[in-house]
Amino acid sequence: MLAINAMDVKTVCLGMLTDGAASGYDLKKQFESTFGHFFAAGYGSIYPALSSLAEQGFVTCEQIPQDGKPDRKVYEITDAGMARLLEALGNPAPCHKVRSEFLATLCFAHLMPAEQIETVLNSRLEDIDYCLQMILDAESSCTANWPAGVEFVAGFGKAMTQAMKQYVEENRHLLIDGTGKKSATG
């Protein structure tokens, strides 16, 4: 059973399937685009989630033959899956957590040479610009068709991304000037 208070890969897959039937590949693409800035999932978690959802009767799976390739599995949410999704969406206080290799790395900036810190910061700024551009491109291409929740999430992602970029740019000196070491006066 799905944990009622957890927005896990299974629950997000159920939500994505409310837009219509989709393959694991289709869902992965949606995780990379729409959900890319806040909820990561790859094939290693999507396919086991879909398999479990099918075993539990929350989705159906139709295998569509393809020439020279394995059958394409297309999943569709069931009434039981919709009920489970709505139950999970009933959580009044969903967790908001951040897992950042970038921040974990910079916790140890005092062990790194300044050039390495610069590389890490510059790389992060490039990633931020890429993410921000992805959100802006999506907004300009289809905002009118987005449900209000998707529009809110995109706006939240844009605000977080812009704030992150501003913080890194304005505070990189804290890591570079002292090579990651706090000054005796600060």
**Model confidence at 180, in pLDDT bands (50, 70, 90)?**
very low
* Angle, CA 30 vertex, CA 24 and CA 32 arms, to 5°: 105
What total of structural domains would you count in the chain? 2
Q: Kindly state whether residues 60 and 128 are assigned to the same domain.
A: no
| More confident site: 145 or 158 | 158
| More confident site: 33 or 6 | 33
Chain-wide mean pLDDT for the chain?
86
Q: CA 157, CA 185: separation in Å to the nearest integer?
A: 36
Bridge-based pairing state of the strands 22-23 and 69-77:
antiparallel
Domain carrying residue 151: 101-176
Q: Which pTM was predicted?
A: 0.72
Q: CA 116, CA 121: separation in Å to the nearest integer?
A: 9
Give pLDDT, residue 184. Answer: 44
Q: Kindly state whether residues 108 and 84 are assigned to the same domain.
A: no
